[in-house]
Amino acid sequence: MKKKLKKVFKFFSQPDLNILPGNIAFYLILSVIPIITLIGLVASSLNLSIESITNFMNSYFPKEASGILVPYISGQGVNLNVVLFTFFGLFLASNGSNAIIVSSNKLYNIENSSFARRRIKAFNLIILLILLIVFMLIFIAFGNDIVKFLNNNFFNGIEKYIYYLYWIIKWPIGIMFIFLIVKLIYTIAPDKTIPSKNVNKGAAFTTTLWIIGTYIYGYYVTNIADYSVFYGNLSSIVILMLWIYFISYVLVLGIIINVSKYNKG
């Protein structure tokens, strides 16, 4: 056990890996606004009431968080400016996943592929990471409140059954989905496909800590937080940044665990 910890520490002590979690977190935070724009577009295309979405955010999110997010949600539909803005935001955010690819190649001693091929892969990886973040927020962090909101607005009369169903499927589906997507990211990130068996430990490690961290984040935000006294309207951004940095840090640790397993095998 000590040898494994020393090996992980040795990998993580490399200068580029020290800054990698912060790099990933920075670009993931940049992707927040395009994500919110996409939520507005989906709501508009499905003829969902924007007012109901904003009411939900005002009811279940901290006041400072909803005050920041709500103004970005609009029901104006798809137009060229929105599409370009969303694409550019996601492309910029893909710099974080590109750093994952380059660092993975270095750790696995794999030569980098062409710039164009790597950028396409980076764009696909950032989409996967964003889907994971949205899934964890909706399903793990704020799932209970979202189910209550849907019950009150759309499922009157069957509230109890919907809530019970959610609790039955929450953890098995949540754990399985997160594990499979994380495993996929770890497998395809290097420019040489890594055998699936070599990423199981890292994926399990990352999945476990992500679920624990996300559950704590959601519980704290909805039940405990009164941090506006210290940070004012920046409080929600501070907590969101800490959570995103945490999942970025764990993601990098998972890569290192996988590399250690790969080199040993």
HSE on the CB side for 207, CA within 13 Å? 22
Instruction: Note the pLDDT of residue 169.
Output: 86
Contact 149, 59 (CB under 8 A): yes
Alpha helices in 46-158 (DSSP H): 50-60, 63-69, 80-108, 115-135, 143-153
Q: What is the mean pLDDT of residues 17-23?
A: 82
CA separation for the pair 163, 160 (Å, rounded)? 5
Q: Which two tokens stand for residue 103?
A: 């660092």
Q: What is the mean pLDDT of the chain?
A: 77
Alpha helices in 189-234 (DSSP H): 200-219, 228-231
CA separation for the pair 205, 254 (Å, rounded)? 6
* Confidence tier at 141 by pLDDT (50, 70, 90): confident
Residue 186's identity, in one-letter code, is Y
Which of 7-11, 66-70, 227-231 tops mean pLDDT? 7-11
Which of 53-67, 107-121, 138-152 tops mean pLDDT? 107-121
Res 101 pLDDT > 70? yes
Residue 19's identity, in one-letter code, is I
Instruction: Find, among 27, 35, 101, the residue nearest to 252 by Cα.
Output: 101
Number of H helices, E strands in the chain: 12, 0
Is 0.85 surpassed by the pTM of this model? Answer: no
CA separation for the pair 206, 255 (Å, rounded)? 9
Of residues 166 and 160, the one with the higher pLDDT is: 166
Q: How many CB atoms lie within 10 A of CB 39?
A: 17
CA separation for the pair 125, 129 (Å, rounded)? 6
* Confidence tier at 88 by pLDDT (50, 70, 90): confident
Which 8-state DSSP code applies to residue 189? S
Characterize 203-218 residue by residue with b for buried, 16 or more Cβ atoms within 10 angstroms of its Cβ, and e for exposed. Answer: bbbbbebbbebbbebb
Instruction: Judge residue 113's burial from the number of C-beta atoms within 10 Å of its C-beta, 0-12 exposed, 13-18 middle, 19 or more buried.
Output: middle
CA separation for the pair 201, 28 (Å, rounded)? 24
pLDDT digits (tens, 9 = 90+) for 113-132: 898 999 999 999 998 998 89
